Structure 1
Amino acid sequence: MAFDDVVKLLALSPSTHTEALAAAAVEPAAGRVDPTFSFVRDEGLVECSAPGVSKASALKVVMAERGIDSGQAMAFGDMPNDLPMLRLVGHPYVMANGHRIMLEAGFPIAGYSDDGAVGAVIDRMLHIAGPRRP
């Protein structure tokens, strides 16, 4: 496999917390990779993706294939790796038990992920859009 085929590299540090490792990775990454994380642990784990490889880029492709305007799309996130995806859509939601970076980003809060919040938001949106059809 050629290095150009690699889309994600995981960086692990047994002595550095995830958030500190992610912050330290930004400058050395210098646009060659996009460092982020999807969960927090004492033994730091940072995901380094090829530039442009993210949930947001995948969602753009899906929306384009289906003719969906991003302003009409909805997404839910709980960790910093979800930020680009939430910035892409017209209806972004953060989970109430999400990472503090997410809660501070200013998106509407859906509720707790383990309490049916995603389904409740979707249900509200469907009722706003009109009655359900069998």
Structure 2
Amino acid sequence: MEALYNFGLEIHTVGVLVLMGVVTFNILMLALSKNIIVYARRMRIVMPISASFIALILFTGAIIMAAKHLHFTFANIVMIVAGVVMIILEAKRYKTLKRRTNIEEENAFEGYKSKAYRFLGIEMGMLVVISVWMML
């Protein structure tokens, strides 16, 4: 049982680090993009990767909690809430691009960029704060 717990914890940690890399990649992709159509096409490829790693983190967290006999601690609750918030932020970022960005509008992409930077910044901030908190 100890080996399962340690392995799940390692997968969980690697998943968080890879998700940080994916969020960083999203920020760089947004910063370097000039055309909204090309960006939207790339985002449709990267978004499932983000969602997969969020799901991986939540799934491995559930396995780790099961190995600990479902003891809910304050840290566990914070991590669950952070996972749900990240799912909501990703959905809002995609919805903003899909519905509220008119391609013909002159500054449409710049308006989207400001919102997307805010969403991605919140995601990265949550990941960093919780990761540092768990390492202490």
TM-score (normalised: structure 2): 0.27
- Structure number with the higher strand fraction is 1
Instruction: Name the structure, 1 or 2, with higher relative contact order (CA <8 Å, separation 6+).
Output: 2
